[in-house]
Structure 1
Amino acid sequence: MCLICGWIYDEAAGDPDHDLAPGTRWADVPMNWVCPECGARKEDFEMVQV
């Protein structure tokens, strides 16, 4: 979950609008990827269980 805006990255859904195919594990998301909602960096995310 993004600590800035609360957007949640879902591994099953990926982020196809930003070249992350469904099924892309969080560990495989590149460090230069940013939150699609607010532009926060990957290091501004925290693991949550939903």
Structure 2
Amino acid sequence: MDECVVSEVVEYKSWVCLICGWIYNEEEGLPEDGIAAGTRFADIPEDWRCPLCDVSKAEFAVVEF
């Protein structure tokens, strides 16, 4: 009997700062700031700030391709 291997496709999103255009990619994370690769934007601490222009998470929107 053949076994069917089902692999889960993980869809990562990218989030863009609406002020400066900097992009956070969930798949890449931000290791230099202590955010591991694969970290969802929702799981980043609420007090996190855009590394480029210092605005809050509220100023980010998901990028739709």
The structure that is strand-richer by fraction is 2
* Greater relative contact order structure (CA < 8 Å, 6+ sep): 1
Superposition RMSD in Å: 1.0
Distance in structure 2 (CA, Å) of the matches to 1:17 and 1:41? 18
The CA deviation string for residues 28-49 of structure 1, in whole angstroms up to 9 with x for no partner, is: 0111111111111101101112
Q: Which runs of 5+ in 1 are unaligned?
A: none
Show structure 1 runs of 4+ deviating over 2 A.
none
| TM-score (norm. length: structure 2) | 0.70
Matched, 1:17 2:32: yes
Aligned length, in residue pairs: 50
CA distance in 1, matches of 2:32, 2:64: 24
Structure label with greater radius of gyration = 2
**Structure that is richer in helix per residue:** 1
Q: Give 5+ residue unaligned stretches, structure 2.
A: 1-15
TM, length-normalised to structure 1: 0.89
Query: Residues of 1 paired with 2:49 and 2:63: CA distance?
Result: 18
